[in-house]
Amino acid sequence: MSIDLLPAVRLARVSWNKGRIVGQKRPLLPRHVWSIRVRLEMAGNARDLALFNMAIDSKLRGCDLVALRVRDIFAAGQVKERASMIQSKTGKPVRFEITDTTRQSLNRWIRNPEMIGLEFLWPSRVHGSAHLSTRQYARIVRGWVMSLGLEPSAYGTHSMRRTKVA
């Protein structure tokens, strides 16, 4: 067999995950949750505190969390104790309880002057977008994780779903 008939050999490509941590993202530990809450409260960041608390309580996927509407969790002048919504991925309804701490932070956020007349619970600051994007939510979560000095590649938006707080 001559060398001309052999198949061409490609140069090895660098794999997409070389040097990256792949697999499941870690859940936050209870001490991490409390540290993030304290930092957000001290910073007076009403939106991020409400977003963080809601992510932990609801265990919703990022796409469903950012698409929450004010009417989904707020009725008769107060935040509901339980809320429900249809999951975008499965199309199935999901109900979740909203704890007192989360209700207080949501109440502070909804009564914020920035929220007057808005439909979505987490409005976008970018003109033309109705609500916070999932990418921006991921950036926010990354900021929370980095503020604790944790490795940001080990945690992500799914960490919020996996976190169990007593």
Looking at every residue in the chain, the average pLDDT score rounds to: 90
Q: Per-residue pLDDT tens for 123-150?
A: 998 876 799 999 999 999 999 999 999 9
25-162 CATH, one of 1.10.443.10, 3.40.50.2000, 3.50.50.60, 3.30.750.24: 1.10.443.10
Question: What's the distance, Cα to Cα, between the start and end of the chain in Å?
Answer: 70
CB 76 within 8 A of CB 49: no
Judge whether residue 77 has pLDDT over 70: yes
Q: Is 107 helix (H, G, I), strand (E, B) or coil?
A: helix
User: What is the pTM assigned to this prediction?
Assistant: 0.85
Domain boundaries, the chain: 25-162
Determine the average pLDDT of the residues in 90-106.
Answer: 96
